[in-house]
């Protein structure tokens, strides 16, 4: 995928309004004339809904770097009774360097169940292990990081969730961009640091380690793609305190045309983290027909490029 040739593709009026550069990277075995356009509008992504509205949650904090919580109220629209003793879901969050949070979830009566993690507008689907627990490293999106764990609404066990909160002292030192979507749409986030070309050192994406192009930043994948209709995310992070040069990091979004997504509309959402502010942008793409399977669509300017000053 790294040697694909780029050609400019026309886009609809809505794309111009958003300032999205839309390109296609065809594979060598398929025609290069395939074109795709953005939809007439940019509706709210049905696969990435607005953050869950939950009220009257009490957050408890053990200290400045870790927090342990009580079960969250209001997550069960069915009004089920309180969980039996020992079955209540618990969550604990601990801050780590790089504005990362180690999240531990324990729900001993829910082995193997599906959960949804909500954090500052980001939503991902995860799965509890055979013991009903989950250890997860999550990029923080706010200096006061609140994580809401929502159990599956189809669960046969009690559906009360949990909340965890932790202070992230180095959040201001990190630039972060989130790409999230629903289902197996094949989205990827790519960062080309300080003029790096595709496949060269400084081209950062989830497969960078395999091709030796890792740079100063990193991409983390979140979500269990093995679940039915999962919510998935990729997060690119760059630590400003480690910057040795000044320049621009170009951010692009790519998706491969596959048998799963060809000939239909697919949606995604980006979150740009600046301090404690989250800027969101919704995207809907009308994918080419299945004769273009194996090609890649590249969207530039969907996310504002990161401008980095050396320390």
* Chain segment 235-284, per-residue pLDDT in tens: 999 988 777 778 899 999 999 999 999 999 999 999 998 777 788 999 99
Q: Is residue 51 part of a domain?
A: no
Task: Give the integer Cα–Cα distance in Å for 170 and 231.
Answer: 27
- Residues 205 and 137 both lie in one domain: no
Q: Is residue 61 part of a domain?
A: no
- The maximal CA–CA distance of the chain, rounded, in angstroms, is 63
- Residues 208 and 248 both lie in one domain: yes
- Residues 214 and 242 both lie in one domain: yes
Q: Is residue 216 part of a domain?
A: yes
Total domains in the chain come to 2
**Is the Cβ–Cβ distance between 241 and 281 less than 8 Å?**
no
Q: Is residue 52 part of a domain?
A: no
- Residues 176 and 294 both lie in one domain: yes
Q: Is residue 49 part of a domain?
A: no
**Is the Cβ–Cβ distance between 277 and 209 less than 8 Å?**
no
- Residues 182 and 296 both lie in one domain: yes
Task: Give the integer Cα–Cα distance in Å for 74 and 67.
Answer: 20
CATH number at residue 81: 2.60.40
In the predicted model, residues of the chain with pLDDT beneath 70 are: 1-85, 154-159, 210-214, 310-311
pLDDT of residue 222: 97
- Residues 246 and 227 both lie in one domain: yes
- Residues 82 and 222 both lie in one domain: no
Q: Which of 168, 202, 223 is the last residue of a domain?
A: 168
pLDDT one-digit tens code per residue, 192-242: 999 898 888 889 999 887 655 667 899 999 999 999 999 999 999 998 877
pLDDT of residue 52: 46
Quick one: how far is CA 77 from the chain centroid? 26
DSSP letter, residue 5: P
Q: Which of 168, 200, 227 is the last residue of a domain?
A: 168
For residue 82, give its domain range.
66-168
- Residues 162 and 73 both lie in one domain: yes
Q: Is residue 54 part of a domain?
A: no
**Is the Cβ–Cβ distance between 299 and 22 less than 8 Å?**
yes
Q: pTM higher than 0.85, yes or no? A: no
Q: Which of 168, 188, 209 is the last residue of a domain?
A: 168
């Amino acid at each position: 995928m790294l040697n694909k040739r780029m050609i400019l593709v026309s886009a609809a009026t809505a794309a111009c309004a958003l300032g999205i550069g839309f390109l296609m990277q065809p594979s060598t075995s398929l025609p290069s004339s395939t074109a795709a356009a953005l939809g007439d509008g940019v509706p709210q992504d049905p696969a990435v809904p607005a953050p869950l509205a939950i009220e009257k949650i009490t957050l408890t904090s053990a200290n400045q770097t870790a927090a342990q919580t009580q079960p969250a109220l209001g997550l069960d629209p069915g009004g089920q009774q309180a969980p039996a003793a020992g079955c209540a879901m618990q969550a604990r969050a601990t801050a780590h360097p790089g504005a990362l949070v180690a999240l531990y979830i324990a729900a001993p009566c829910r082995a193997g169940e599906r959960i949804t993690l909500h954090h500052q507008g980001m939503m991902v689907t995860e799965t509890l292990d055979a013991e009903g627990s989950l250890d997860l490293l999550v990029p923080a999106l706010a200096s006061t990081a609140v994580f809401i764990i929502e159990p599956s609404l189809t669960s046969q066990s009690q559906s009360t969730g949990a909340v965890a909160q932790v202070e992230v002292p180095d959040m201001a030192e990190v630039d972060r961009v989130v790409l999230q979507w629903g289902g197996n749409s094949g989205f990827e986030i790519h960062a080309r640091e300080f003029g790096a070309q595709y496949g060269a050192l400084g081209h950062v994406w989830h497969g960078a380690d395999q091709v030796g192009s890792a740079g100063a930043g990193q991409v983390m994948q979140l979500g269990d793609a093995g679940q039915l209709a999962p919510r998935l995310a990729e997060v690119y992070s760059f630590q400003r305190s480690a910057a040795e040069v000044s320049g621009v990091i170009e951010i692009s979004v790519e998706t491969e045309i596959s048998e799963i997504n060809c000939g239909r509309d697919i949606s995604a959402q980006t979150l740009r983290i600046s301090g404690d502010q989250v800027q969101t942008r919704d995207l809907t793409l009308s994918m080419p027909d299945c004769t273009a399977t194996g090609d890649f669509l590249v969207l530039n300017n969907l996310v504002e490029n990161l401008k980095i000053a050396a320390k």
